[in-house]
Structure 1
Amino acid sequence: MSRMDGGSVRVLHVDDEPDLVELSATYLERERADLTVVTETSAADALGRLDGAAIDCVVSDYDMPGMDGLEFLEAVRESHPELPFILFTGKGSEEIASEAITAGVTDYIQKEVGADQYTVLANRIERAVRATRAEDALEESERMLSTLIGNLPGMVYRCRNEPGWPMEFVSDGCRPLTGYDAERIESGSIDWGSEVIHPDDRGTMWETVQAALDERERFEVTYRIRTAEGETRWMWEQGQGIYEDGAVTTIEGFITDITDRKEAQQRRQQYETIVESMDDGAYILDENCQFEFVNTPFLGVSGRQESDVIGEKAGLFVSDSSRANYQTALDRLERGDASQIRTEVDVTPPDRDELTVHLRLTRLAEDGQFRGIVGIARDISERKARERELERYETIIQAVGDPVYTLDAEGNFTFMNDAIEPLTGYEPDTLEGKHVSTIVPDADAETARDLIETLLESDDRRNATFEMGLKTRDGDRIPSENHMALLPFGSDGKFRGTAGVVRDITERKQREERLAQFASVVSHDLRNPLNVIQGRLEFARKTGDSEHLDTMADAADRMERLIDDLLTLAQQGQTVGDTEPVDVERVAVDAWEQVETDASTLDVDGPIGTVSADRGWLRELFENLFRNAVEHGSTSPDSQARQDAVEHGSTGEADGPTVRVGPIDGEGEGEQAPSGIYVADDGRGIPPEERQRVFEHGYSESDEGTGFGLTIVENIVEAHGWEITLTDSDSGGIPASDASGESGDERGESAGTRFEITGLD
């Protein structure tokens, strides 16, 4: 297990259950070797423990006698305002959580069952303690930085890049340096450019600084100032520009007095002091291009000790692949072909991976004679790695199945990955620079703008998820979910835009719609038999008549069938499971055996062949079609269809309706898949005006039916990508007739029902 930064952690766990705190301590110490857990069974005793021992984190229950967890938290905050406090409780609610957050709880965890909760608790303890220790370290760092600035031999400043260099901030070193109080410089009562800088150096100073800023470089300048006492002194200044929208608005830097170091040796020592305090590696080469001075950061880059570097040739730390390029740069500086050269070289520290280093090499000269070279070395390996990482990120983003985008502050597309095209029909390049309303309806775009305003006003929330529509190139609307986040703010603190991932939620919305339909049907259809049971029960109690029990039992049976069908519908989606070649005739016979057929007859007009299907759902389809035929079919015992069924050797007795299953167009011979399957009966049929309604939830003409059977059939058909139509049995399958031999059409009635399923694979 990982250890926490800053060493071991001492945890106080408070819970009024002694066995629980003992168990928690065991699990936590086993989970983290650097955790030490002390326990108390009351908040009052825990407060005493806090006063007498160093505790890094408190873990407390909520529901405790005497003083509950929130009261305990308030008491802890009075004496230990920064101590991490985690509420670990089995009695949770939004109200308790809200009160805990208001009272300053560090974290809130609901107790669960099992040992995994202690892993979560250990992680939360680690995170809380690490954050507190990081804050303490930051405060110490800021204190040390303030002390460092206060003890620098000079002045730290920030000024506007305008003529006169108006100062916005100067450190306390201003007065020893110039004789002026910092307040007078910052207020502008003393103008730095016209009253402090020597008049003979103002023009050169301005040109030198502006030239460096135009190249986005740091600048170093040496110039004179006039102090408050009228004394002229030499200053050395280093600074850099702060850029906003591509322009320099502010300069930050450091100024120090070098008057007493004007002589060469003194100046060199000053350079060495400044260079040693820099973050970048720095070194000085003498006129023979041998190391004369190196600072500590440079030794870190080169991976060598100072004793191994001083006096060695300049190419010591450069890899073989970069040595020729580096030597060329040194030769040019020595000849005077350039005063400064920037280049990149590879460095091979001993026992470490190769680094990429950016070098800024400056020629040192005295009276025109070459005296050496100053080198500034910055390790840019991480930057190079980030550039490679960005390339990988771009590859990953393009590989994401969902559209990924970025918008500028005005809502114009600045990036869109290739996944947008299959969803909307727009190529990414055609959307770049276009407003988001190109593919998002105006109402949804307005919702997004309002949400962005809310996020901008929030201190701790920078992302949100909301539903919206997408407009395709063809004019269709696609329901979508947008996971949106604010882009990191610029250095000026301004809003730069948003990024997000869009996901097609069409299937989810369909599921929600089906669930809404189910809820509506359940609330209606289950209530009816329940009312029957309640009413009959009341009659039975008053009259003692047991006949009411039969009606109650029928109502209960209907409720059971409704529940079974609803469960089947709930298990269905828009896709099927694994498909396989399925023998249609065998599945149909199996399904018939699962249905209460009431002496009805099944006639298989086969062989039918095989189809690619989910075997279980295909059997469910046949069961519901058979059940529909039996419940709604004719009870005439003498139809010719039943006689035919007996002659064909069909299963069952010929006392009920005959149901026939067969291939469409007779294309079921051998192993060939039929183009379609029909299921027909010789019942009373369904009038044409009712055929569009039979697949609706809850539609049934039978007191015994649930109204869901054909809905289940339609769902299974659509999930397989098939189609289902409904017609008369006379159109193919079983001709319906009465005892007189007249067909249903001759009598003006529907001639049985035939379901045709086509599009089979």
Structure 2
Amino acid sequence: MTDEGRVRVLHVDDDPEFADVTAMHLERVDDDITVETETSARDGLERLRAEAFDCVVSDHDMPGMDGLDFLRAVREEFGDLPFVLFTGKGNEEIASDAISAGVTEYLQKDVGADQFPVLANRIQRAVGERRAKAALEESERQLSTLISNLPGIVYRARNERGWPMEFVSGDAEGLVGYEADAIESGDVAWGDLILASEQDRLWDRVQTCVAAGEPFEVTYRIETADGTVRWLWERGRVVGVDEGVEILEGFITDVTARKERERELEREREFTEGLMDAIDDAFYVVDTTGAFVRWNDTVTEVTGYSDGEIAAMSAYDLVPEAYHDRVDDAIAETVTAGQGTVELPIETSDGDRVRFEFRGGRVEDTDGDLLGVAGIARDISDRKTRERKLEQYETLVENVGDPMYVLDTDGTVRMANEAMADHLGCDRGTIVGSDPTEFMPAEDVERVSEVIRTLLSEPDETWRTVEMRTVDTDGEVTTTENKVAPLVDEGEFTGSVGVIRDVTERKLRERELERYETIVEAVGDPVYSLDDEGVFTYVNEAIEPMTGYSPDDLVGEHIGTIMTDDGIEAGEQLIRDLLDDPEADSGTIEMDVVTRDGRQIPSENNIALLPTADGEFTGTAGVIRDIAERKERERRLSEFASVVSHDLRNPLNVVQGRVTLARETGDVDHLADAAAAAERMERLIDDLLTLAREGETVGTLDEVDLATTAERAWAGVDTGAATLSVESTATVEADAPRLRELFENLVRNAVEHGPDDVTVTVGADDTGFYVADDGPGVPAEDRDRVFDRGYTTSQSGTGFGLAIVEDIADAHGWTVSVEESESGGARFAFTTTPDAR
């Protein structure tokens, strides 16, 4: 006998390929089944003599000793060991001989994978019945000493409808809520306790066993005296006959907990399978030979092969032959190092090749023995396309006619293209690593540096053009126009870039082109020119996406078509100021642009005077920029300034409390907790400011454990006598710090609005996860407002906590709603599954 719960099967079939396919499918269909194979009945007998197996599965038509002879030999030597005849050559005569020889199950081979779940079921049933029989025999042997301690009852009953009990012993009241005397007297009929939906099935099962002269085992549901439904397991047998009616004796016990565990395990299995299929990337498990053991739906979607085809394939079948050595290396690396990564093309059923990144990890059994490799395959075609585009841009930079350069943070030349080398009359090796003052006047370099500093302080302006000079190796000075921009990575200045253009000839035509340069100086934003009456004389194409008006719609119309009265008045005042100040020729106003459909867009209008004719005002030119996002960022920054003080309250209290304890007790260990809280405060400040600047954004997404994150969030909040209950070990793809902040705000909300001993529950369901409490809850009329910024019913709250929760959920692409929890409190439900929204 093998380990309880595991089923070890010996499969004997003279076709080794079919034996291997059968083993693979049985182990895939049922994780509890392990299959060993032999290709002859004689080898099978030797294997049985050497090792313990729970079941034998055998073909019939085999050379030497056929399946029936093998069955007879097994029965003679190994007794009632379950034996399943699984044969492709089936007829009534063979079936009859097999039954006569004591076969446990008889199953004819079929085409396709649907036969293997049936075979697995037959195996489990045969092994289960044998194990149950063995267990029953053992229990009967010990019955006399154990009956007083068994959690149930023993009984004697008449085999009639309702099974009237003549004798009941044991904890009948604990089992069904009625005294044994009431059941024996007939005041409580046992059959009346059985649910109506169970009675016919139960009667038929018992009568079948009684007619066959065999003990019966049944599981059914009853309703106890207090109305509770319980699962009972009963084993009984006929012990005699009274006036033509069989007398039954048996044992009944409560198996409700086991049934609930079975249902929970099944739900967990379904959840795991569903989770794997919900993963966008391809999930796979292969054995050490590369053969597929498990896979999710994405594998079939991206490859175009069916599940049946995948089952007969290995990883090598999906990868072009030229890459098989890399597959070998990747598997070897993963097995040796525990994990590995490789990029390979997959060849689909249509013959297409798609580039994937494979990230795998070593899979072991409970004894640490190697089972294979599990991993995720991610389509990186888009990333490869971006890399190719980067190469194209690099090629463009090298081949463009204008000199280009990149400076480090300290101003050292880090890159220069070939055009730059030609412009200065030297090779690039001389330029790279040098100081720009070697090729440009120091005052010009300083002026460009000042422009870079200005651009860094003006986030709405990304580049600026500076007139400067360059000096080649011959000492020749050239007047140039340098279009410069700072390089920023995640808010940090990393250097600057410049594109130089020789404008010597253009300077000769500058006076003639002044009007046109004024119009197009801000390409990409709406650009216009007005005559002295405020009528459009030119509008570029960028005006239409912003306002809905085409250039043809506006030329000849007054500026008031797209401006409010306040905007017109501000613009006129700016023009008067510019005309009064001979040193000024441009200025900026903030205004609302009015679109064709009546919407008003906050905008910035950079207005410049057109060149005058004989000192007379001839009109203006302007560049309009949409600043709605900037205004929104300013608003969010203001809100988050308030949030900082709100969310820092608890860690600040921890710091103050721990420092006070350290002073009073002299125990410096408190300072470590204070330092940790201070560090938490610093991280929270950084995170809140980042979220304020970037809006509803998140950082790197990883698979984050809900339970661990909830517990860490709980530790960062002053919860007093409150209790945390985590009911799920699920994971969610999230930015871990953002998710922790979400939990902290919900915990703080529950503690601030609930009783001192409030219980906060974190769990997961098919659509996402939830945070519930047993506090007073949220009235139905207030549920639409709890996420509004500034809304609170607590004197100590800021009204931003739940707004932050909603922002974080939105940033992840989730939806959040507030409901009533099972205990009447608040339940915040987060839908993370796209199909559920």
> Shorter-normalised TM-score: what interval?
0.3 to 0.5
Q: TM-score if structure 2 supplies the norm length?
A: 0.36
Rg larger in structure? 1
